[in-house]
Each structure stands twice: as C-alpha cells, then as structure tokens.
Amino acid sequence: MGQNTLKSVALAGLILLSLIACSSVTPRGLIAASRLDPLNSDAAKLAVAVGVPNTVRLVDGDAEFALSFVPEDTQYAPVSETVSLQVRPSQDIVVEPNSTSETIYVAQFSPGDADRIAAAQARIKALKNNGIEGEGSLSIGVVGGCFTQETLTSLPVSTWLRTDPTASFVRLTRTQDMLAALPADEAAAIKTNLKACD
C-alpha cells in the first residue's frame, strides 16, 4: 500500500486488511475483518478508533485510510484512493484503552472524502461484476502528529473498527510499536512527520 501504511494480513474474500502485524491481530479482529464488506459498507458511517500513547497528539490528517484494487489482468487500471481521517480524542469510552497511558482517537471521513471512497467502491464493484479478479486492500495508518516527550523512540498503536453507528467498535489489532514493525524507511518517514508539540 506504500509509505506509512501498516503491514498486510491476508483475509478471505476481496480484501487484505492492512494492520500493524500478523501477530498483533486479535482472533476477534480477524473474524470481524473477515466479515467486513468494504465494497458495500457506507463510507460515511465507517469509523476507526486508534490508540496512541498520551505523549502523542493527533489532529485531522494525522491518520489515513486507503482502499485499492489491483486487477490481475493488466489491461485494466488499478483503483486506488487514499484519504485523510478526521480525528479527535474520544469524549466517551467507545473502547477501553489498553492502559491509563493510552489516548483513544476516533476517526471518520469528511463528507467529500466519504464520496471519494464511495466512488472507489463503485469502480471496484464494476470490475468485480465484470468478472475481473484481483487483489484488494484496505489500509489504516498513523502518518503524523506531535509528541510531548523529549524524544520519540517508539509509537505503540492499536486499532478498532466500526462499520455502523449502531454497532460497537471491534478491536482489530493489539498494541504494537509501529516504528519497530515497519520497514526502516517507512518508520523513518513517520518519524519525520512526527514533530515536537508546541
């Protein structure tokens, strides 16, 4: 999926759900992910919860969501859409933090970005409906932010997903250090985007 995304986990059906690392996915998360229908889910209702240390602060644009589909037949163009997420610290306990040192941010799309994801869904569905096989990917990544500690040596992240406002968030990944899990160049890019807070 490119720079600053999280490592992929293969699932049945259309998608590869990009998470922190295979070993960090919870059994319940795998079940939830395998039931996720990214082509028919309403993008405007999709919400992500991201847990980061209290020493890291996120604002709009510091997390990204990407959806793509690469046809096996190269005569068909790939579909790829990446949008920034609107993030804010959760005012309610939508998910239980892993510890008292973790802050939970809830992230959603802006209306315009939801439309872009919906358009990508439509393009992918058109290919699938025409019998075009390929590899799909859904990716969630922390790509920026600021930190209050003197130096940033690790970036523990955990994730949850909700596909409908009436449903509960389901944990997808346990806490894992992104800077250690990602390739060195991608970890370096994230560190470059993380600045000391003013």
Please answer whether residues 34 and 97 qualify as being in contact, where contact means their C-beta atoms are separated by less than 8 angstroms.
Answer: no
CA-wise closest residue to 105 among 40, 61, 57: 57
pLDDT digits (tens, 9 = 90+) for 2-13: 333 332 322 223
Return the DSSP state at 130.
T
End-to-end CA distance of the chain: 31
Q: How do the pLDDT tens digits run along the chain, 198 residues long?
A: 333 333 232 222 333 344 333 345 556 655 655 665 667 889 899 888 888 999 999 999 998 888 888 899 999 999 999 999 999 887 776 787 778 888 999 988 999 999 999 999 999 999 989 999 888 877 777 888 999 887 888 888 888 888 888 888 877 777 888 888 778 888 888 888 888 998
List all residues 6 or more positions away from 36 whose beta carbon is below 8 Å from its beta carbon: 15, 17, 138, 161, 163
Domain ranges of the chain: 8-196
- Whether residue 148 contacts residue 55, with contact meaning beta carbons closer than 8 Å, is answered with yes
